[in-house]
């Protein structure tokens, strides 16, 4: 019975280290930026690891007063793609840390 307690203590230390490593990684990933484009580069957005929009660049050729909806759609597509890239980056980096173990609620 005492041997199992030692194993439990070792497991708890590993879990605590994993939690610390994950918290550190999440902080590092928040500082990263990702870029996405839409419309063949007509719209370019940059988001950070917290999914906050950092910049939006619009090619003047994409601005058509007669078709504002298309420009709105391009911006929407670029922002959604950038957010997806953040999610993918987080999952990939966390997967490296956890060895592919899926831990609900952590990322």
Q: For residue range 50-61, what is the model confidence (pLDDT) as tens digits?
A: 999 999 999 999
pLDDT in tens, 38-78: 999 999 999 999 999 999 999 999 999 999 999 999 999 99
- Measured CA to CA, the distance from residue 58 to residue 41 in angstroms comes to 8
Residue 17 lies in a domain: no
Structural domain boundaries, residue 87:
33-98
- Measured CA to CA, the distance from residue 89 to residue 4 in angstroms comes to 37
- Measured CA to CA, the distance from residue 91 to residue 70 in angstroms comes to 31
Residue 73 lies in a domain: yes
Among the listed residues 23, 15, 32, 16, the one whose alpha carbon sits nearest the alpha carbon of residue 87: 32
Residue 57 lies in a domain: yes
SS (H, E, C) 15-44: HHHHHHHHHHHHHHHHHCEEEEEECCCCEE
Write the CATH number for 70: 3.30.1310.10
Residue 6 lies in a domain: no
Tally of domains in the chain: 1
């Amino acid at each position: 019975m005492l041997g199992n307690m030692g194993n439990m203590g070792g497991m708890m230390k590993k879990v605590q280290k994993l939690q610390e490593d994950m918290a550190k990684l999440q902080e590092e990933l928040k500082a990263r930026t990702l870029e996405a484009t839409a419309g063949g580069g007509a719209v370019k957005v940059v988001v950070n690891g917290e999914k906050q929009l950092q910049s939006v660049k619009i090619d003047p050729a994409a601005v058509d007063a007669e078709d504002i909806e298309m420009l709105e759609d391009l911006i929407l597509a670029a922002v959604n793609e950038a957010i997806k890239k953040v999610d993918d980056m987080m999952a990939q980096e966390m997967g490296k840390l956890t060895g592919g173990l899926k831990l609900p609620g952590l990322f």
